[in-house]
Structures are given as structure tokens and as C-alpha cells.
Structure 1
Amino acid sequence: MVMFYFNNVPDDVGNFNFGAWHNMKPKRMQMVHSMLVNYRLHEHMDMMIPTRSTALQMTRFHSDEYITFLKMVSPENINEVAMTFGGLDDGLTRFNIGDDCPIFDGIFEFSSISAGGSISAANKLTSGDADIAINWAGGLHHAKKNEASGFCYVNDAVLGILELLRHHQRVLYIDIDVHHGDGVEEAFYTTDRVMTCSFHQYGNGFFPGTGQRKDTGLGKGKRYAVNVPLQVGVDDEAYKSIFQPVIKHIMEWYRPGAVVLQCGGDSLAGDRLGSFNLSMSGHGSCVEYLRSFNVPLMLLGGGGYNIRNTSRAWTYETGIAVGVDLTETEMPYNNYFEYFGPEYRLDVRSTNMKNHNSRHYLEKLTAEIVENLRSMPFAPSVGLQEVPRDPKYYDSDDSEK
């Protein structure tokens, strides 16, 4: 069974606005939803409105002070709130508020929808109600414990993983966004209970500037952070040649109880910020490959700044998740049909961009990563313990936070 999470009443998540000039467009969520319904994919899965995350749940990862700031702040009172957190400049700088991460109307509500979707998805996986859970409004992987980063304010991926860890000894996080999944990696950098694996563009000052191959974790988490830095122009064949061998070795050696796959659409060809050259089919093959392992799987959104291509890819990948091949189908009429002209097809094609990833580079990188995996303990485990109680069941103040 596939459980699909999307706040559809009244199209909440798609109505938020980072600003007319900003690259992040939540409207893409409305576009995905409209296509899913018109492709009739909703008939193959359960669609549910998740419970929105509370401030208390967010502070399982984020600091109390930071979440309090997000609850209080708005475009109208930003200067006043900043003064209460150390002064006008200091109060904004400490939480990394600026051009990339502006304050917009409903910022806390937007974050609660995204985080609530990933927490609810994790709950459905751990309860056995779903084999695959999808939250395309999630995948905001850059947010840190004490600050916003890279258009991300609350790290729903980390919160979802923390929920999965209540029931699973090991969780694997995979990131195919064009940007390094730095916020998730940082959160679990010192533990062996979460392995993070990020495939991303690296070099020439590309954001966030982290994710070298040699960055593999610290302490107990040594070797449990896997970074796959790729160069501009990587195409379907090159991506598959490294993605599948690396993931195969991780799945066989690490043996995760659940997998979280962040499907950022900015690794597609034609993105406004990314410089990869993946087609819709190449991007979707990652979802198809993970599905073949029959391990509880959470699919999250993420980046994606060509909203037409991103919504195409996530629709296509929802089809993969539910076992419906949309490759050769005509695009049905939907609320955003005019956005997809002149071809009006569910397709994102690679361009003639040069692939700067040589076969030698990819083979050497794969060999280094696989060798590192072989040197770590097989299927690390923790002692059996009682599943921790969920705070929402015993904290009487939860509804007020």
C-alpha cells in the first residue's frame, strides 16, 4: 500500500509565497496534486491530510529559541522580534535570515505542514499501514538545528528520521537533490544508526560548499556519511553507473530497516539553479531502484526551480511508487495544463550539455566509496530497548505550542 500525504484543503502548502523574486515556488505542489488527480493516481493509493507538526515536535531537532522565533516572526513585526533575540542585525543573523531565507507570511504554518507530512509518513511506515509514504512538500534538507539555510527553515527529513528511529535500529537517508544534503548529514554525523548518502554537484563555490568524498562522519558515525560529489552535466548513464553500485553495497552491508529518499527536482536538466542533465526517466530510475529492495520507503520532495519539470518528475515518480507506468501516456487536462505547452507531455529530456564526469572519475569514486563501506562493521546494531513514548501522547501543553 502507498500512503500519499498532501495538504489539499484548501491547497494550503501551495498558497505560501517566498516572494515574487524568489526561486522557491510552493505553487509546484498544487501543480503536482492536480496532475496526480487527473492521471487518476489517487485511485491507487490512500491520500491523507497529515497532522501539522507542533512546535514541541520541531524541537526534537531544532533549538527552542529558533522555533520560538519562527512562531513569533512575520513580515510586519520582523524588526521588533529581531530586537528581542539580540538586536536588529544580530537577531536576524543568528538565525540566518536574509535573501535566501526571507520571512514571509505564514512561515511557521508552512513549516508545520512540511514537517507534519514527514512525521506522519514515518508513523505510517512504522505502523505497517504503508510500504511507501510520500510527502512531496518535504525534503527541506538544508535547515540546521539553530538556523535556516538554503530556502529551508525546519528540517522535516531529520524529524521524519527521528520518528523512524523509534522503531528501527538503522535508517538510510539518500539525497538526489543537486545540492548536498548538509543539514541531514550534520544532524546524524556522529551516529551509526543513520547512514546518509548524498549525490550532488560539487565545486566552484556551488552551494552549500560541503560534501567532499573524504567527509565520512565522526566518532561512532565514522564511515556512515557517504558523499558522492559530481561535476557539471552528469547525464542518465553516468548517474546510474555510480548510483546503483553505491546503493547496492549500502543496502547489502548496512541493512537499513527503512529508507528515506529525498528527490530534489533541481538535479533535472533545465533547472534554474542546478547544472545536472538528468532526464525525468533517469531521475525516476532512482525511485524505481530503491523500490526494488522492498524496504519501507519514504519519498520526499526538496529543491526544484523549474516548477514545470519538477512537477512532471514528481508525478512520474508517484506513478513508479504505485506501479503505474506513465511514460507513454498523454498528459490529461489539469488545472495547470497551459504551463506544459507546447508539447503538453509528461517528459523532461536531457539536453546537449557536456558531461564533465569522466568514466575514470566515476569508476575511481565508486571504488573509493565501496572500499570505505567494506571497512565498516556489517549491519551495526543497538541493544533492544522499549520504543520511546511519543511526547504528543503525554504532554498536556502540546496543543498550545
Structure 2
Amino acid sequence: MKRILLCDSDLLTKLSDEVPSNKMRQSLVQGLIKGYKLDELCEIIDVEPIEYKRLTLYHDMDFIKQLILDRKEIDQQSENHEVISNKISEVFDLIEDLVDDEVDAKDDELYGLSHDCYPFPFMKYYINLTAASTIQLSERMCEYIKSQHQQQFQSKIIGLNFYGGRHHGSKSKASGFCYINDINLGISTIRKNLPNSNIFYLDLDLHYGNGVAEAFKFSQKVTTCSVHRFDVGFFPNAGSFEESRTGAYNISTKRGLNDESLKWILEEVVLNLIKKHKPNFLIIQVGCDGLATDVHKQWNLTIKGFNKVIQNLINDIDRSIPIMILGGGGYNNAETAKCWTHLTNFLLDSNFPKDINDFQNEIPEHSLLDYYENDGYKFWTETNSNPSKMHNENTIESLQEIKEYLLSL
């Protein structure tokens, strides 16, 4: 038996569409999942606002106050200002604000709210619901885990939150398009609800999951492992495998990482680390900026290859371990939507198609179908079905060196 939970919120979708780095991405993601009716096979977590004070479970209060500063002039820049404003009035009606007259926009840069994380319309509400999505998914999963322990039966619990996965934010600073670190809030929520939990966090984004690694580097109950592109000057300019320590592992790769190399890494390194630390909760961040179709052009992964590796990992670990899957990077919006929809289908083992590696190629009729016009309204195209001609600089010798180093810690 398998229980799949999926976070969904019309308001959070609209708010996420305002994020400068991911304009309209969330509507494409949620829209394609619903277009294939995969949401009907999931238990929906209808994300609701939380008190802003709950964000201090990880973040500093002064940082939160800066994030939720009223910025009405910026809010009015949204093309959907009236629609979103009306929805916010309904949804946030009973949520207490944190008003502080001393907070001023002139301090934005101190908190990282400039450059790649500049303020955008309705940011304070996006912050709230993004944090709430991972917190509430964590709480629901913990409830089911406790219930199963009491009733002595086991079903596979998988939680999906493609709003989340913001892995660069620190306690008091936004960074790398990440205004808040929902992952750390989720981990802290799990630890609060299940004090004996032993959590393994796996980051598959192109970029190093520094915000999570830094937060738990001294924890005995949280293991972090990040597979990422590493090079001098490549954001966040950290995360070499030599910087690893027991419980905080960096699998730093070179340009051109392909499906075969990622499969080798997960089978030869990550699975061994999971067996070593014996977690009873697994969190996977599945950023799509490593796809060959992404604008970064640094890795050479395909949708099928990436998702098959994730599926294999899930199949290879103890079925009793609950798994939370979070979004992250991905800057080709249509391809990110396809990747996460395909992954959702993988995890559901839905009735179509019979071969889970395949997928209905005609994208179903839905409100955002026109966004796929350049793809001929097809799911699979020549571009996303195959890797590019990028050279894979990750040799078996270089990967073997990383493996030997990390498994010796």
C-alpha cells in the first residue's frame, strides 16, 4: 500500500508565479499535474497560512520581520494585483502580523534582499505559504507515522511539495533565489514531532545545498548529502568533496554529468551512506536545473534518466522509510513542469502508461496548454528525450576518488 500526499494551493501557485527567478513556473507545474489528473490519485495538502512566529523555528526574528515588511508599492506592480489581493484578504484574514516600526526597507541588503533576491509583489505572503507548505506536509506525514506505529501496519508514505526545496537560505539571509529555507523548517518540524527521528537529506539540485548543510553540520540526527556541480566561481562557490565531514557529505561533480554518472553516484555512494546512517526519514530535493534542457547548460541529465534514478533509490531503501520530495531549481519552466509531473506519475504507479518509463505524448487539454505550443503540444520532444552533445568531464576515476574519500569518513 502506498500513500501519496501532494501540496496544492491556488493562492500559493499565484504567489510563486511572482518570484522573479521562476515567473509562471508554478502554474505550469501544478497545471500539468492536474492536466494528467494525477492530483486525483493523491491526498491533497491544502496549504493554509501559519502564524509568522512559526518561521522562527529556524530563522531569526529580525530576518522574518524584514521579509514581511509591507511593500504596497511593489505589490501594485503585479499584473494580477486585484485578484491576488482579494484572495489574500480571504485567506490571511485571521493571521497575526509582526509589526515593527523600526523595520525599514533600507536594511534589505543586510538581509540579502537585493541582487538575486530582491523584493517582489506579495513577497510576505509567498514567504508564509512556502514555509507553511513544507511545515504542514511534515506535520501530516508525522501524524501518519505515529498512527502506523500505534496500529502496527505499514504503508509507504511519500509527500510531494514542488513549492518547496529552497535550499540556499540561511538563518538570517536570503540567497540564491531562496527567500526562506522551507527545508530546514520542515526538518525542524519533523524533529519536534518525532524526537527520535534520524533524517537523511539528499540534494540533487545542480547547486550545492549549502543552506541545509550549514544548518545541520553539527547534528547527530540529520545527515546531509548534496550532489552538485562544483567549480571555482560557480554559485555558491562552496561544497567540494574535501570539505565533507561525517554526516555532511559533498558529492562535487564536474560539467556534463549525465544519467549514467548520476546513477553510479546514487548506487555506489549515496546508497552506502544511507545504509551507514540508517535513517528512518528521507528527504530528497529534486531541482531540475541539471537537465540538459535547462538554461544553465552545466549538467546533461534527461527527464527519464533523472526520475529513474530517483525511483531506483526509493525502491532500494526500506519501504517503511517515509520520503518527502521537494522542488528546487529549474529555469526552463515547461521542462521543469514535465519533469515533476513525470516523477509524480512514477511515484503513483498510475494506470497510464503500462510502461512507467513512457508517458502519454499528447499533452492533455488544460488551461495552460498553449505554453507547450513550441513543443507541438507533445510531452516528449527530440530535445528532452536525449542528452545533448555536452562532454562528460566526470570520469569513473574522478567519481571513484569521491566515493573512496566519503566512505572513509
Q: Is 1:144 matched up with 2:144?
A: no
How far is the alpha carbon of 1:182 from its aligned partner? 0.4
Structure with greater helix share of residues: 2
Residue in structure 2 matched with residue 231 of structure 1 by the alignment: 254
Match of 1:289 among 293, 300, 312: 312
1:371 matched residue in structure 2:
408
Shift of residue 55 of structure 1?
1.4
Matched residue type, 2:359: E
Match of 2:224 in 1: 196
Give the equivalent residue in structure 1 for 2:7. 5
Instruction: Note if contact 2:69-2:103 (Cα within 8 Å) is conserved in structure 1.
Output: no
Q: Is contact 1:177–1:302 with CA below 8 Å preserved after alignment?
A: yes
CA contact (8 A) 1:117 1:135 kept: yes
- The one-letter code matched in structure 1 to 2:39 is H
Q: Is the 8 A contact 1:5 1:135 kept in 2?
A: yes
Q: Secondary structure at the match of 1:100?
A: helix
2:285 and 2:366 mapped to 1: Cα distance?
A: 26
Matched residue SS, 1:139? coil
Cα deviation for residue 280 of structure 1 reads: 0.1
Mean Cα deviation higher: 202-211 or 239-248: 239-248
Shift of 1:336: 2.3
C-alpha contact (below 8 Å) 1:7/1:13 kept by paired residues: no
Question: In 2, distance between residues paired with 1:206 and 1:357?
Answer: 17
- Alpha-carbon distance change, 50 to 83 in structure 1, aligned in 2, over 3 angstroms: closer
Tell me, in whole angstroms, the C-alpha distance in 2 between the residues paired with 1:283 and 1:227: 19
RMSD of the TM alignment (CA)? 2.3
What is the TM-score normalised by the length of structure 1?
0.84
2:199 maps to which residue? 171
Matched residue of 2:260: which SS?
helix
Determine if contact 1:287/1:321 at 8 Å carries over to the other structure: no
Pairing partner for 2:69 from 69, 72, 78: 72
Worse-superposed segment, 92-101 or 173-182: 92-101
- Does structure 2 conserve the Cα–Cα contact (< 8 Å) formed by 1:175 and 1:261? yes
What's the CA shift string for 1:207-231, capped at 9, x where partnerless? 00111112234xxxxx110100011
Percent identity among equivalent residues?
26
Cα gap change, 1:73 to 1:99, in 2 (>3 Å): farther
Alignment of 1:261 with 2:277, yes or no, is no
Aligned 8 A contact 1:319 1:326 in 2: no
8 Å contact from structure 1 (residues 135, 299) kept in 2:
yes
Secondary structure class of the residue paired with 2:118? coil
Deviates more, 1:248-257 or 1:56-65: 248-257
- Mapping 1:2-401, distance limit 5 Å: 2-9=4-11, 11-18=13-20, 23-25=21-23, 27-74=24-71, 76=73, 84=102, 88=106, 91-128=107-144, 131-166=157-192, 167=194, 168-217=196-245, 223-292=246-315, 293=317, 294=319, 295-324=321-350, 325=356, 327-330=358-361, 331-340=363-372, 341-347=374-380, 348=384, 349-372=386-409
Instruction: Count residues in correspondence.
Output: 358
**What secondary structure is seen at the aligned counterpart in 1 of 2:289?**
helix
Does structure 2 conserve the Cα–Cα contact (< 8 Å) formed by 1:232 and 1:357? yes
Q: Which runs of 5+ in 2 are unaligned?
A: 76-98, 146-155, 351-355
**Unaligned stretches of 5+ residues in structure 1:** 218-222, 373-401
